[in-house]
Amino acid sequence: MRQQRSGHIINISSVAGVVGFKHCAAYAASKFAIEGLSLSVAAEVERFGIKITLVEPGFFRTDLLDDQNVRWPSNAIEDYAAEGNVQDTWSAYNGTQQGDPAKLGDALVKIARMENPPKLFVAGSDALTAIAPAVEERLQAMRAHEELSKSTDGSF
């Protein structure tokens, strides 16, 4: 891509790459990593005409949560019992996800054909509903502690 001075990389993250959910810390960590990787590499390769789109899908009706594809933990930790177990939390979504993978595929094809594709694409109304308040909460926290943040600057 550098050699031809063009290209487009589409990296799939997740709403879990923006919003932390209980019972899926490792999954969320991997998706947060994709976010950081994509944003960093995008800054590095933009000058070569290479574009990166980071996709943050919500729940799509795939086989991800099918019992054949999931290994549920068998060791329960009593301190978390009141919150329910991982299997009960996530298996309820299997087959009920509102996102249509074929429609996401169509959207990604449209993005791939764009001359100026988005750097970020939030896929699904459920993802929009979850991500918007999480981003706003971060902005509010940043603004609320702006003076404290500035107070950490050195005087050189």
Check residue 95 and give its pLDDT: 65
Best CA proximity match to 22, nearest among 66, 79, 85, 69: 85
Which domains, ranges and CATH numbers included, belong to the chain? 7-62+97-138 (3.40.50.720)
Q: Rounded to an integer, what distance in angstroms lies between the CA atom of residue 140 and that of residue 136?
A: 6
pLDDT at 31: 94
Q: What local confidence, expressed as pLDDT, does residue 88 receive?
A: 65
Would you give per-residue pLDDT tens digits along the chain (156 residues)?
Answer: 999 999 999 999 999 999 988 778 888 999 999 999 999 999 999 999 999 999 999 887 776 767 776 776 677 777 776 676 776 666 676 667 688 899 999 999 999 999 999 999 999 999 999 999 999 999 999 999 999 999 999 988
Predicted TM-score (pTM) of the model is 0.83
Q: In this predicted structure, what is the pLDDT of residue 21? A: 81
